[in-house]
Amino acid sequence: MNKHIRLSCILALGSCFFASAQSLQDAITKTENERFDAAAADFRQLIAKEPSKGDNYFYFGENYLKNGNADSALIMYKKGTEVHPTNGLNFVGIGKVLLLQGKEADANTNLFKAKTLGAKSANTLIELAEAYITAPEKLRKPDEAIALLDNALKLEAKNAEAHILKGDALEILHPTEGGPAIKEYEDAQKLNPKSPKAVLRQGKLFLRARNYQLALEKYKEAIKIDPTFAPAYIEIAELYHKANQDNNALESIKKYLELNTNNPYARGRYASFLFESKQYIDCIKEIEDIQKKDAGDAYLYRLLGYAYDETGNKDTAAYSKGLKAITIFFQKTEGKDFKYIAEDYKHKGSLLSKTGKDSLGALELQKAIDIDPTKNCELYGDMGKIWMKAKKYDKAIISYEKIPSCGKTLSGQNYYDLGRAYYFLAANKQKEKKETEAMDLFIKADTCFSKLTQVSPPTYPVGYFWRGKTNLQLDVKDAKNEKWLAKPYYEKAVEIVKPEERVVNKVNMIDACSYLGYYYVKAMKDNEKAKIYWNIVKELDPNNEKANAFFKSLTGK
């Protein structure tokens, strides 16, 4: 999380520490356990005790960085270079942040300086390797990381951390071959059997190989080694979530929270888990509670916007809150070399549409599609829905017709919506007295509804109802040339609908049965057959004028 903490707050150390300072290793371990607040308190004590020791500043910076506070981390690293300019670690830290910011040239300058100063320091070489491993994907250098780690192991042959990171680098280089990485993790575990880190890494590797049971066993083994090792609880929660065991997942995530009481980062991860578990209302509540104390994190605004969009709540006020949240997210990240993902634009577009800003919503969805047209092709369907809602049928048609262009086939829902777009646009053309254009559009509508009947289950009548409506428009209305084109489709639809389902399909059933009743009266002179359909109309609408007129004609009234 990106908290913009002022330098004066960070360095006002004297009033913030406990009665007795912990060791540097204790503080580092708390960071690794994601107990960031507790670790920060320890680092403050250590700096107060040894203000000129560069390592203290570096690992305090690491605590901020791993907690998502890159700005505060950079402040701490820079302070470390000021108080101890010959310590290479803090130059590594500056390089890490610059890599995250995409400033490769500036990052390399600092990393080179770190390598020069720490050429004989196994610890500095290890941290340099981590910088190359954890950099953004396009800036990662796993080969260089391995070379640095091999040099570190020449200096300290029994350094477990070097083996862990070497395993990480090998996993990047050989993502389909877990053996080399596992060997490094196992070597690390032998060297430091009291550390859960190597065991957790093994679990993650098994998870990637879809060996879920072995992954779970490794996570539990990590907790057995250190019950305060919070990352293991998160991994267990996510594993249970994948297995659709959300109750077990929730139990693990709550244990994670217990270890990180009121830590915004921990609560943010909890909110993310609630979102992934589709517990959107709980996710919203958790984020809004966090924001009462800390409203600076852009990512939480992103997640809040997503959650409001996914609630399915018809309340416009809720969607307005979601739009406000995701707008703040974009404002906070604008101009910061932030890489937006398709979901950002997708949810913003959806929220804009749900709050009545249809045109703006469609523009945002187009941005999502532009990021990856093939992956996000289904968003053309969402754009189509937006234009349908706005009654801009020509634009809806353009959106749906783009779906095949990105290698996808239209779904039944797409055919339904596209057919209706053609139908309503044709109706508009009729009002404008453009009969030829209208007929062409009705034919296209009929083709879509025909496709809908082909891809739908046999018990789904909607496609047949709409084929009936469309063919009714295609028919020649002159009494001498009535072709009754709608008849087979209305008959099929009525046949499919069970008696107990008639009320659900009331409007369509009345239209279809009125048409068929009229057909048997006028075309076939078969009042008995017509009576079947008019009875259904009367059953659904006792005051229906046409049905009542038919039955009065039979009694001579």
Domain boundary among 359, 374, 403: 403
Instruction: Give domain status of residue 445, yes or no.
Output: yes
Tell whether 388 and 429 lie within a shared domain: no
Tokens of 300: 């939480």
The pLDDT value recorded for residue 6 is: 29
Of 468, 477, 548, 549, the C-alpha closest to 509 is 468
Tell whether 362 and 386 lie within a shared domain: yes
How many domains is the chain partitioned into structurally? 3
CA distance 322 to 92: 39
For 290, the 3-state DSSP assignment is helix
Tell whether 418 and 484 lie within a shared domain: yes
Residue 519's domain spans which residues? 515-557
Q: What dihedral do alpha carbons 272, 273, 276, 278 form, nearest 10°?
A: -110
Domain boundary among 360, 386, 403: 403
Walk along the chain (557 residues) and give the pLDDT tens digit of each residue. Answer: 333 322 233 223 333 333 334 699 999 999 998 888 889 999 999 999 999 999 999 999 999 999 888 999 999 999 999 999 999 999 999 999 999 998 999 999 999 999 999 999 999 999 999 999 999 989 999 999 999 999 999 999 999 999 999 999 999 999 888 899 999 999 999 999 998 999 999 999 999 889 999 999 999 999 999 999 999 998 998 899 888 888 888 889 888 888 877 677 778 888 988 898 888 999 999 999 999 887 878 999 999 999 999 997 677 899 999 999 999 999 999 877 788 999 999 999 999 999 999 999 999 999 999 998 888 998 999 999 999 999 999 999 999 999 998 888 999 999 999 999 999 999 999 999 999 999 999 999 999 999 999 999 999 999 999 999 999 999 876 555 579 999 999 999 999 999 999 999 999 999 999 999 999 999 999 999 999 999 999 999 999 999 999 999 987 65
Instruction: Give domain status of residue 492, yes or no.
Output: yes
Instruction: Give domain status of residue 210, yes or no.
Output: no
Tell whether 485 and 543 lie within a shared domain: no
The pLDDT value recorded for residue 477 is: 62
Contact (CB, 8 A) for 451 and 415: yes
Residues 6+ apart with CB under 8 A from 122: 152, 153, 155, 156, 159, 162
Domain boundary among 403, 422, 455: 403
Contact (CB, 8 A) for 356 and 349: no
Tell whether 417 and 482 lie within a shared domain: yes
Contact (CB, 8 A) for 505 and 526: no
Alpha helices (H) along 33-83: 36-49, 54-66, 70-83
